Amino acid sequence: DAGVIQSPRHEVTEMGQEVTLRCKPISGHNSLFWYRQTMMRGLELLIYFNNNVPIDDSGMPEDRFSAKMPNASFSTLKIQPSEPRDSAVYFCASSLVRGTYSNQPQHFGDGTRLSIL
């Protein structure tokens, strides 16, 4: 079975440029999560979607960050303009959630290692 697919795996770009990270969740999963991981702050939840609808974006650091999920099989995380402090590994994860409680784990993609120069 195909897992969560993220692209690109690595991205190096200059400060001020727009960065778009992409995620294809596992087919049939109805929840999608974007995380950022750094040494200083650990694993941070940025935003999550349920049935393609953003539920909680309180973790998005600032207006430079935006995320969309136009359909059940695709999501993007965009940073515009990018800054060096955005350098991190960005993970996408998906899960199947039924009702208000589910025992299903989140399945993670391999992550995008982003470096802003």
Partner 1 sequence: AQKITQTQPGMFVQEKEAVTLDCTYDTSDPSYGLFWYKQPSSGEMIFLIYQGSYDQQNATEGRYSLNFQKARKSANLVISASQLGDSAMYFCAMRETWPQFYFGTGTSLTVIP
Applying CB under 8 A, the residues found at the interface with partner 1 are 31, 33, 42-43, 45, 48, 50, 55-56, 89, 91, 93, 95, 97, 100-103, 105-108, 110-111, 113
Choice between 41 and 70, CB closer to partner 1: 41
Measured CA to CA in angstroms, residue 111 lies from 36, 58, 67, 99, 108 at distances of 9, 21, 16, 28, 8
Instruction: Please provide the size of the chain in residues.
Output: 117
Whose Cβ is closer to partner 1: residue 50's or residue 81's?
50
For the CB of residue 81, give the shortest distance to partner 1 in the complex, in Å.
26
Phi, psi of 105 (to 5 degrees): -75, 165
